[in-house]
Structure 1
């Protein structure tokens, strides 16, 4: 450990450059899943552009509360159920998950399949609930 710290002290420029490259790589990879939207931007997209909200949580979580008119396609089943989204290929699609961890990968999958306007809810349903926005419950 002492040698590692000594290396970092002596080669701080190299270590800094490596950290910048890693940060840029992470940013680039996350951007592939589509841009992120705040809850207010999601509301605007739905109201003005008739965006489709796709909730990626499992059906149990979805039934406990979801955004109005959202459709439920669990992230584990997206590969087999993305056919359901074909009619909305040219519409804005907003992906929502619990905290934002699954929406990036789902966005990459949809973008690779030709969905042009895919974005993600920043912070997921946790952010939506923290802002005390309305939910539909069954």
Structure 2
């Protein structure tokens, strides 16, 4: 595709072009806000750093059956459905670093957001969940 074809497309399809531009702007603004608010999921290597340097608490938000199959070492099992009610079980200290994870990384950001609303300022989500964790060669346990 050359520049002339792109210009023809823009000229002949102004609504499609406008929709594309608006979608890209919305995506950029959303990502910027997530980064500023600390909502951007953290990769496994950053999670390990926080576990080692800040003694981060790791929270598994999956079902009990999934937790029993495998989980990150020393993770606390607090299903997403009860995260708000059981927040004090995770930590009474709202300044403590907390890393939430799920199966594929779609639920943990919601759990971290709920914890932040409760005052836990350092609640993060693990990017890609336990699947990405294992994909990066990180250890899990079933004990």
State the TM-score, normalizing by the size of structure 1. 0.83
The equivalent residue for 2:125 is 120
Q: Give the structure with the higher percent helix.
A: 1
1:10, distance to aligned residue in structure 2 (A):
2.7
1:119, distance to aligned residue in structure 2 (A):
1.1
Query: RCO (CA 8 Å, sep 6+): is it higher in 1 or 2?
Result: 1
Unaligned 5+ runs, structure 1: 1-6
The equivalent residue for 2:135 is 130
**Bigger CA drift: 42-51 or 78-87?**
78-87
Q: Is the 8 A contact 2:57 2:90 kept in 1?
A: no
1:24, distance to aligned residue in structure 2 (A):
3.3
Deviations 1:45-102 (A, max 9, x none): 1111100001111111011111111100011121221221342421110011101101
Deviations 1:14-41 (A, max 9, x none): 2233212331354357555723221121
**Alignment RMSD (CA, Å):** 2.5
Q: Is the 8 A contact 1:57 1:75 kept in 2?
A: yes
How is 1:1-138 mapped onto 2 (pairs within 5 angstroms)?
9-24=13-28, 26-27=30-31, 31=35, 34-138=39-143
State the TM-score, normalizing by the size of structure 2. 0.80
Which structure has the larger Rg over C-alpha atoms? 2
Unaligned 5+ runs, structure 2: 1-10
- Matched length: 134
